[in-house]
């Protein structure tokens, strides 16, 4: 039975550990917190899951330690889904270390890892050459903890939002360059040049969050973000992420929509309604990725190099709330409506 060591004791690490433990197909160690780093990373598990933070620079030493310990590594950090987009030298160095150690490193989750890349590539499997892609994801983000919500851009006034975006402290969704690079490389379009736009969604009324906190009136309750991948002046991939802590209160429909088109002519549209849920969806993608990462060839790979992640035919069945887009009571507007 493969051993999985989980580093990061937040919602994601705990959720994946619970799924694998309930399934009974893996020996789970952890989830380990910051003060148990050595136990998490160096004890030679078949796979180490690193579910801590977003930036490559903040996880790369952990990845290298786990690789040096002979473990395959699965990382939820958005920037690790295509690390070459962030730091080519570091990505290549760790890739070589993984090859030498005979282990695999993969950055994955729901997004990046499925909606904006693996699923797009699957849909493109039935498409003619040269179609363009638009993906939009509208999601309830109220279930994320304060650190992740702060990084997305929730809970500040518009002036602070502008300052923090400029300072690189607010990122919106962090994985678009990675997803676009994964799709671009797999389709032969190369790593794209990207135009980015991130704007705040400000609430006029206070909104209560599921964990008891609230977003004040006049502060950001979400973001709308659009990235465009451009090749010789032509936009071939447009990705939009709308995340809000009370989407129903502002009339947003939760959905993942992939559209293939030529110019303005839609060729095909694939809709998932409601959208794949952020937290539970990511937990399941990661739990369902353990075996494909352990079985893969050595090196730092992307999801385009792997077979699809898949749920198991047998097992404990759904974990509570597996298909809900956060707690159904979440995101109530405390007075009036939010916009």
By the 8 A CB rule, do 164 and 171 touch? no
Instruction: Choose between 78 and 256: whose C-beta lies nearer to ligand NAP.
Output: 78
Q: In the bound complex, what is the minimum distance in angstroms from residue 168's beta carbon to ligand NAP?
A: 15
What is the DSSP code string of 27-69?
A: EEEEEE-GGGHHHHHSS--SEEEE-S-S-HHHHHHHHHHHHHT
Strands (E), 232-325: 234-244, 255-262, 265-272, 299-301
Q: In the bound complex, what is the minimum distance in angstroms from residue 52's beta carbon to ligand NAP?
A: 4
By the 8 A CB rule, do 127 and 95 touch? no
Instruction: Choose between 156 and 250: whose C-beta lies nearer to ligand NAP.
Output: 156
197: its two tokens: 């736009």
Q: In the bound complex, what is the minimum distance in angstroms from residue 128's beta carbon to ligand NAP?
A: 29
Instruction: Choose between 11 and 71: whose C-beta lies nearer to ligand NAP.
Output: 11
Q: How far apart are CA 178 and CA 176, in angstroms?
A: 5
Instruction: Choose between 141 and 338: whose C-beta lies nearer to ligand NAP.
Output: 141
Instruction: Choose between 8 and 299: whose C-beta lies nearer to ligand NAP.
Output: 8
Residues at the interface with ligand NAP (CB under 6 A): 8-13, 34, 51-54, 58, 76, 78, 109-113, 144-145, 147-148, 282
Q: In the bound complex, what is the minimum distance in angstroms from residue 335's beta carbon to ligand NAP?
A: 28
Question: Closest-CB residue for ligand NAP?
Answer: 10
247: its two tokens: 């989407």
Q: In the bound complex, what is the minimum distance in angstroms from residue 147's beta carbon to ligand NAP?
A: 4
Phi, psi of 166 (to 5 degrees): -60, -35
Closest CA to 170 of 147, 141, 140, 193: 147
Instruction: Choose between 52 and 225: whose C-beta lies nearer to ligand NAP.
Output: 52
Q: In the bound complex, what is the minimum distance in angstroms from residue 222's beta carbon to ligand NAP?
A: 15
Instruction: Choose between 37 and 199: whose C-beta lies nearer to ligand NAP.
Output: 37
Q: How far apart are CA 302 and CA 93, in angstroms?
A: 16
By the 8 A CB rule, do 70 and 100 touch? no
Q: In the bound complex, what is the minimum distance in angstroms from residue 77's beta carbon to ligand NAP?
A: 6
Q: Which residues of 75-109 are buried (b: 16+ CB within 10 A; e: fewer)?
A: bbbbbbbbbbbbeeebbeebbebbeebebbbbbbb
Q: How far apart are CA 230 and CA 156, in angstroms?
A: 31
């Amino acid at each position: 039975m493969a051993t999985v060591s989980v580093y990061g004791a937040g919602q994601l690490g705990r959720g994946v550990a619970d799924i694998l433990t309930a399934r009974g197909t893996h020996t789970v160690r952890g989830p380990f917190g910051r003060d148990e780093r050595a136990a998490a990373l160096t004890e030679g598990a078949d796979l180490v899951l690193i579910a801590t933070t977003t930036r490559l620079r903040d996880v790369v030493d952990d990845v290298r330690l786990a690789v040096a310990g002979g473990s395959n590594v699965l990382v939820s950090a958005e920037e690790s889904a295509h690390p070459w987009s962030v730091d080519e030298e570091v990505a290549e160095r760790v890739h070589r270390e993984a090859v030498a150690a005979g282990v695999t490193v993969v950055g994955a989750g729901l997004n990046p890892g499925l909606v904006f890349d693996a699923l797009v590539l699957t849909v493109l499997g039935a498409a003619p050459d040269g179609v363009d892609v638009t993906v939009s994801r509208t999601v309830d983000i109220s279930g994320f903890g304060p650190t992740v919500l702060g990084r997305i851009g929730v809970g500040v006034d518009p002036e602070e939002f502008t300052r923090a975006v400029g300072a690189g402290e607010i990122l919106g969704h962090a994985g678009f360059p990675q997803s676009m690079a994964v799709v671009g490389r797999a389709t032969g379009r190369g790593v794209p040049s990207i135009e980015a736009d991130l704007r705040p969604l400000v609430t006029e009324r206070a909104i209560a969050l599921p964990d008891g906190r609230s977003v004040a009136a006049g502060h950001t309750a979400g973001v709308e973000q659009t990235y465009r991948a451009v090749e010789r002046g032509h936009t071939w991939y447009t990705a939009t992420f709308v995340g809000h802590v009370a989407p129903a209160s502002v009339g947003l429909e939760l959905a993942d929509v992939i559209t293939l088109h030529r110019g303005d002519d839609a060729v095909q549209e694939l809709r998932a309604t409601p959208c794949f849920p952020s937290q539970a969806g990511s937990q399941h993608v990661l739990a369902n990725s353990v075996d494909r990462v352990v079985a893969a060839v050595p090196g730092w790979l992307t999801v385009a190099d792997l077979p699809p992640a898949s749920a198991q035919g047998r097992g404990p069945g759904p974990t509570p709330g597996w298909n809900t887009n956060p707690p159904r009571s979440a995101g109530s507007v405390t007075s009036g409506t939010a916009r």
